Chains A and B, each alone.
Chain A
Amino acid sequence: MKFTLSWLKDHLETTATVPEIVAAMTMAGLEVEHVIDPATKLKPFTVCKIVEAARHPNADRLQVCQVDTVDGRKEIVCGAPNARAGLTTIYAPIGAYVPGLDVTLVEKPVRGVVSNGMLCSAAELEYATESDGIMELPDALPVGTPAVDALGLEAVIDFEVTPNRPDWLGVVGIARDLAAAGVGKLKDVSIASIPGTFPSPITVKVDGEACPAFAGRYIRGVKNGLSPKWLQDRLTAIGLRPINALVDVTNLITYDRARPLHVYDAHKLSGAEISTRLGRHGVHGDEHLIALDGKTYELTPEMSVIADASGERPIGLGGVMGGESTGCSEETTDVFVESAWFDPIRTAQTGRATGIASDAQYRFARTVDTGSLVPGIELATKLILELCGGEPSEVLLVGEAPAAPKPILFDPAYVGQLSGLEIAPERSLQILRDLGFTVEPPKDVSAADFVTHAESVVCVTPPTFRRDVEGKADLVEEVARIAGYGALPSTPLPEVPRAVGGILTAKQARARTARRALAAAGYSEAVTFSFTSHETARLFGGGQPEMLLANPIASELDCMRPSLLPNLIDAAGRNARQGFPDAALFEIGPTFHGERPNDQRTVVAAILVPKAPRGWNKAAQDDVFTVKADLLALLEELGAPVASLQTAQGSASSWWHPGRSARLQLGPKAVMAEFGEIHPAVLKALDVAGPVYGFEITLEAIPEPKKKSIKTRPAFSPSALMPLTRDFAFLVEKTKAAGDLVKAAAGADKALITAARVFDVYEGPGVPEGFKSIAIEVVVQPREATLTEAEIEALSAKIVAAAEKAGGKLRS
């Protein structure tokens, strides 16, 4: 919404400057986006007079002018055909920046004659979009007058209107708030009624649904034409294009009172009745309207249609745009003025469906003042009679606008209760009155008592243009914003006892630990979109129809991600293409497996693309066992029961290398993590060079830690006896998991064996085909007394027996 200071001053008596107005608007809730001040832009430009104009010696189309300027007499070369002696125009000195040309003037000869400045056209000053020749100004303007004054230009304030305040879409609404905020005094903005002299020959019928209320008036004998300069200037200043007096009047009232109107050329109407109804699309076939913008729109049963010819011919989209067929022209003599009320939701939908964002549509979509139907007609009548003459009919009002806002029982003390502001009750009520609210005693209190008991409950009725105010909290906002949020106290929150053991849930705390642990382990945290492409989602077990977005921003971001891995792998690929192939990335975030709240998981995923720079010591690259180590270390940090985890090889999801991946699980239904090497086919589909190793932990799958009431740990009781180690080598089938053998060996005597570790795996000469040799170091911790040779022998036999059960044959 744009307006100028002089327009505001039509309604507000004030001496405030533009910056003061802007500051007051901001603090009253009108967010100023920017102020366009032509005085800054046009500072170097002043009025000048051409004293003499002679043909350029070397160019037919140029003239060399002697010009009286603010800098004295100057010789200026000018190419405009209208440059002539005696003309009053605008001068730009050397060094001036000409906005319309986007150049800064420098002194240089034009075909051999030095031009000491420039004579300007309206377009060069950005005063008009196009112009023919240099400006022609009234001769009365003295030389040196600033161009802004000569042209009557002033600052334009552009601000954002929040959807709750459609009344701010009219200058009067802004003036009212600023007056309440103490910036000035609101002038009388009431509208006098003009009696009609004859009954309207056009009648109106509303259906209540397409249009609940419609006020109209016939004015005959008007003479349409260009608007006077003041009206044209006013519209031009805020970026509107003057068309003709009748149309300009409606635009003026739209911006002055937030009251859109429409004027029909009465002679172009068919029949004597205007009616409103919904569009007929689909019932009687397609229905169309050629609107004032010259475009054809399809009318649907959701749209409000204005029609003539017994309801048969559409002549307007209600509240959005009029039809071309009944628009006003220079020849118009009789008009019918419409001031109606259209439903905001219907208007908003029509705007979206047609793509029309007219000033009327914008206002009706945000709710037009239900009390403005007849005043709108009266103001339009006054202006039309002033500008075009004519004779008005009586005013018609059919239908019923939505009821006026209901009174609100209000205790002014509630202002302090909700806002914390210390403000006298009478001041609160005065602010409400200044904003147009009616403050009355409640029904059971007499007016006389009321005056002396202002603190008590009152009855506040919002004006019809403030339908956003529905309850006492809204009234507090009105008082608080006008009193000024700067006056709000700063009150410490009451102290509350701190939660024992921190405020984070186990899952939140684990995510936090995982972040720090992985960063410490050398992984860089990435944050990626929750989306992936449908194809990629399918590669990672997702892509169900309910996970597809109806309105994605791009086709490669059209699906909720079922896994964090694809985004991380993608990122590694992007980095590699930029010359940084070595990547260790992780992300902690949501994955999506369905639309219900518990279909969402919090996942910790990491990938490792080992492309470390060559080292002089020829160290091997990291591999799948690196991520296994990082994964187990992390699970331990997260308090997962690592010792009880099974490594289920070959059961991981399809996006992993089938022979180099596994699940870590407590059981087949309690899968905590998957890890391994990413399937080469998946990498190929993602166009990323492998190998890529990784893991994915589902935080929800890690059992909640037991809540302990005390933090003490069991007593430390180390054995006084030295642990001893024994080595064994077993032959097992090549396909057997070493983990099972280790587990068996370790479980042979749980009291004495504290660890069993693989220290060699061998295949080759000496080992039968299809077998491998696994060497295990078993750590034995004597408990009571040093073990005798016989006891050690017995223990070894137990270990060998256990290994045999697991398919291992002691190598002799």
Chain B
Amino acid sequence: MTDLNTLESDVLAQVAGATDLQALDAVRVAAVGKTGSISGLLKTLGAMSPEERKTQGAAINALRDKVANAIAEKKAGLEAAELDARLASETLDLSLPAPYRRKGSVHPTMQTMDEMIAIFAEMGFAVAEGPDIEDDFHNFTALNFPPKHPAREMHDTFFFNTKENGERMLLRTHTSPVQVRTMVSQKPPIRIIAPGRTYRVDNDATHTPVFHQVEGLVIDKGIHMGHLKWTLETFLARFFETDAVTTQFRPHHFPFTEPSAEMDVQCDRSGGEIKIGQGTSWLEILGCGMVHPNVLRACGIDPDEYQGFAFGMGVDRLGMLKYGMPDLRDMWSSDVRWLAHYGFSAFAAPNPASGLS
């Protein structure tokens, strides 16, 4: 027994003394490997008497198990220590910056346009489009601007050079030509908006030579100014995303509508910026009216059977009002700092579930 006890303490001391997995494995092989000291003892059992084998066998097996357990325990400890050491050596400074990634954005004018389209889509309007380069008929004559009439002068039109046949193309001054094209090609009922670029010879803090409009057109039987008022009131409340929008209708004159109106929105102008939904000032934001019978006739629609309304508003300007951009010209400057400041996330696509922006 003394031999076993000595062996046990020897081997366990060796296990405890192993400093790495390799040393531990050497201990394992020396003790319980094929030719190991404990394995050697087990081989001696065959030569023993049955009684001796019984007692010695149990003792040697117990020793073998004890040593195996000690080795496993030591191995786990050494492995954990080795992993800790490796991990410690693998440390990265995560305060270092991540690789540069550009942040894109949607232009506020286009975001505004998308918002408007989303609102009108909900109200059953389709989206119609037409060319920016127009002829006199679609931009003026069909819209009840008599030839040479002073009202044409107020439009500050961009012209192309007069052709040999005397015709002169122009850049549309409003998206109304799209209304004309729609009425000429479709039968009522019509319910469309016409978003797009429009052009006037004008360039100052509040005017750019190119700007965006959304016009609307509804033609059906029995459509009256009350429908127009509701449509615009509803639109503006949804657009400005507040219940507090107060509007007023004011008579005005446009050649293509009769009666005609402008719509003002109540706002606060104190402190240099315009705040919609508060204050006591009025701000003109759009023009509208009942489509002039001459316009309907020019487009082949009988004004005694059908009537309807049209409206037009400046997208850039409404965007400025909603999002507080001070200068119209900045919107066309493509300054990356401005785009980052006023731009919108790619994922801010307007929708009725999550809102407009």
Contacts and interface: CB of A to CB of B under 8 A. Distances in A.
B156 to A, nearest CB: 9
A515 B110 contact: yes
Interface in B332-355: 332-337, 339-340, 343-347, 349
Interface string B168-185: 110100000000000000
Given A495-B124, A519-B346, A575 B161 contact: no
Interface in A208-226: none
B258 A546 contact: no
A488 B263 CA distance: 13
Interface in B166-221: 168-169, 171, 189, 191, 197, 199, 201-203, 208-210, 218, 220
A527 B110 contact: yes
B120 to A, nearest CB: 8
B346 A480 contact: no
B334 A575 contact: yes
Given A490-B229, A523-B104, A505 B224 contact: no
A580 interface: yes
A550 B225 contact: no
Interface stretch (B9-17, B29-37, B65-73, B249-257): B249-257
A493 B225 contact: no
A473 B259 contact: yes
A320 to B, nearest CB: 14
Contacts of A529: 208-210, 332
A493 B106 contact: no
B132 A530 contact: yes
24 contacts: A31-B250, A164-B253, A417-B307, A418-B259, A419-B225, A420-B227, A471-B293, A473-B303, A485-B261, A486-B248, A488-B249, A505-B127, A516-B347, A518-B346, A524-B107, A526-B107, A527-B109, A528-B332, A528-B334, A530-B171, A550-B168, A580-B336, A588-B110, A619-B100
A197 B234 CA distance: 68
Contacts of A345: 148-149
A525 B105 contact: yes
Give me the 5 closest cross-chain CB pairs, A-B, nearest first: A420-B226, A29-B251, A571-B334, A477-B259, A522-B102
Contact of B226 (A488, A551, A571, A585): A488
Contact of B250 (A29, A547, A595, A613): A29
Nearest to B125: A503
A595 B203 CA distance: 24
B129 interface: yes
A505 B192 CA distance: 13
Given A163-B150, A348-B148, A31 B252 contact: yes
A486 to B, nearest CB: 7
B233 A490 contact: yes
A524 B124 contact: no
Contacts of A508: 127, 129
Contacts of B153: 348, 352
A652 B97 CA distance: 39
A578 B104 CA distance: 19
Contact of B307 (A163, A418, A580): A418
B201 A418 contact: no
B224 A582 contact: no
Q: Residue among B218, B331, B334, B335 with the most chain A CB within 10 A?
A: B334
Nearest to A419: B225
Interface string A527-559: 111110000000000000111111111000100
A526 B339 contact: yes
B43 interface: no
B260 A477 contact: yes
A489 B162 CA distance: 47
A606 to B, nearest CB: 10
A164 to B, nearest CB: 5
Contact of A518 (B104, B201, B225, B234): B104
Interface string A558-597: 0010000001100100110010101111001110100111
Contact of B224 (A27, A419, A486): A419
A549 B158 contact: yes
A528 B210 CA distance: 9
A491 B224 contact: yes
A420 B251 contact: no
A450 B124 CA distance: 45
Nearest to A586: B104
Contacts of A29: 250-253
B290 A418 contact: yes
Contact of B229 (A471, A491, A568): A491
Nearest to B339: A524
B121 interface: yes
Contact of B99 (A420, A583, A595, A615): A615
A503 to B, nearest CB: 5
